[in-house]
Structure formats: C-alpha cells, structure tokens
Chain A
Amino acid sequence: MKAKIIVTPKKAVVDPQGKTVQNALEHMGYRGIKAVHVGKYLEVELDGGDKESARKSLDEACHKFLSNPVIEDYQLEIAD
C-alpha cells in the first residue's frame, strides 16, 4: 500500500515557476495552454494495515508538515 500526495501552490500565490514553464512551452510552439502550476509529488510507502486509518493519519501529516496550508493545497490518495 502506498500514499500518493500531490502538493500544489494555492491559486492566490504567485507561481513564477509555473509561469516560466508556461512561457517555455509557448516558445516551443505548444498552443492552448492556459496556465501551468508547478508543485511536488510525494510517494509514501506504507506497511499495510487499515486503509482508512492510514488516510486519516497521513491527512494530518499533510496538513501539519507535508504541505503548508498558508501557501499550498494537497491531494492525498491511498493506493493498493
């Protein structure tokens, strides 16, 4: 079992990395790109056990440590 966590900057936070990547894509000729947001991906391997309790404890870890709620949003998925 593993947890997959995606952390992205909040929309209100200026994301110069995303903007720079977007500009580069446009320079390369890719069209139709509205916005790019650069975040990070974390994969947490788990020992097994109960999926729901793993979700609960990792959700807390995401809020307290793995993301900063002032500037970031996160999505947590527990996969088999």
Chain B
Amino acid sequence: MKFAVLQFPASNCDQDSVHAVRALGHSSRLVWHKESSLGDADAVIIPGGFSYGDYLRTGAIARFSPVMQVVRNFADNGGLVLGLCNGFQILCEAGMLPGALVRNRDLQFHCEHVFLKTNKFDSPFTNSIPDGKILKIPIAHGEGCYFADETTLETLKGNRRILWQYCDASGNLTETANPNGSLLNIAGVCNERGNVAGLMPHPERASESILGSDDGKWIFKSVIAAFESKGARVPA
C-alpha cells in the first residue's frame, strides 16, 4: 500500500509518519504542500506540527494550500485521509471534519502519554484494534481541546463517529483523564462517509516498542487492512 504524507512549512511529524508506515512494510513518500497531485497514493496522512507557524489559527492557512485542494478531491472520491494532531486541526479548519480544536483549558502545552478508548471497531481507522484494547499514545499540543456545538455532538454520538476518547488506564472516561478539556473527552472523530479521520494523539510516535508503546501501529494497521480488504475507496 502507498501512503502520501503531506509536508507543510513547520510540519514536524512528517518523517515520523513516513517511518511508522515503512516499519509496517508499506510504502510512504512525502508530498510538498505546493504540489497539486498525490500521484498514485492509496491513502493520505496529514502529519503533526505547526504548519505555517500556527498563524491566525492552527491549520487555518494550511487548508488553503494547493495540496489540500487535491486532498479534498481525493476524500470526495472516497480516499482514506488520516489527520494527526495538526493534521486533525487542518481537517477541521477545512470543514472536512466537524468541530474545531481550541486552546487547552489550562493554557498549558501537554506532552505526555494518554490512554484512548476506541468506540468503533469497523471503521477503516480502527478495524484492527484488538477488542477492548485501551491504547497508550502520546499527545503533544497546546490547542487540542475539541469543541463542537451540541447538535454536532449529538450527531457524532448518534452516528458512532467519535472514534477515540481520552480515558484512564481502565477505560473510564473521567475528567482527570481528559488532558485538554475536550468536550465528551473527544480525542478523534471521522466524517459521515467514514473515510476521513483525525485525532490529536500521535500514533506515529508510538508505533514501535522501543518508543515506550507500539499501540499506535494498530491505527496504521487498520488503514492497511481496510485497503487490503475493501480497496482504496470508501463508497459514498
């Protein structure tokens, strides 16, 4: 399977994402933000970082870059798109995912391992995660507090589109396990079609045991399994 990893000025998890995919035996290449083609990519990763210096708002400027126009077309055609941290923020700014990420409630930048509960096991981003597995994956962000209006939150809940929530080591969705004040402890969501997902934690930083956790690999493995079983396009 071939992954395209986008690269914006001030992306800083691009190489980690490339490595995480290659470590699983698949192909991955960087695509510069000025490019207007994704080539023969089967899936797109929008990596973490501080694209365009986080100027104006996180992700606000990156969404207008040439490469994001082709990513939008790619997603409209059912292609798999995964946004990690800043990538999640970019997808929300682009309106490809609902809601927005705002300043952490305590105004602190949080860089630590968190626990995640996965809610939907049949999505292209979660299908390979072992049942009941609580993922231990790091976060590193200052603007990761997920916000959406009540109607949107109800829709997300009803359609089982909240893929990951912050929890404690036993899987309880507690206030203390919520590192940034996200509504409903939301760590990651997907779009209605199910082919675009974003999460604030960094699975690419937890994809090999030498990194302290290899739980992040399950998310990449899910994308690969979805591609291998169902092809590169999610039907509308």
Contacts and interface: CB of A to CB of B under 8 A. Distances in A.
Nearest to B106: A16
**Closest 8 CB pairs between A and B?**
A70-B100, A71-B100, A16-B107, A16-B105, A13-B147, A68-B100, A71-B102, A71-B147
Find the residue from B93, B102, B149 having the highest chain A CB count within 10 A.
Answer: B102
A12 interface: yes
B149 A12 contact: yes
16 contacts: A9-B102, A12-B149, A13-B102, A13-B147, A14-B147, A14-B181, A16-B103, A20-B107, A65-B56, A65-B64, A66-B56, A70-B92, A70-B99, A70-B147, A70-B149, A71-B102
Interface of A: 9, 12-14, 16-17, 20, 65-66, 68, 70-71
Given A68-B57, A68-B93, A70-B147, A17 B103 contact: yes
A13 B147 CA distance: 7
Contacts of B105: 14, 16
Interface of B: 56-57, 60, 64, 92-93, 99-100, 102-107, 145, 147-149, 181
A68 B60 CA distance: 8
Contacts of A12: 149
A65 B63 CA distance: 10
A16 B106 CA distance: 7
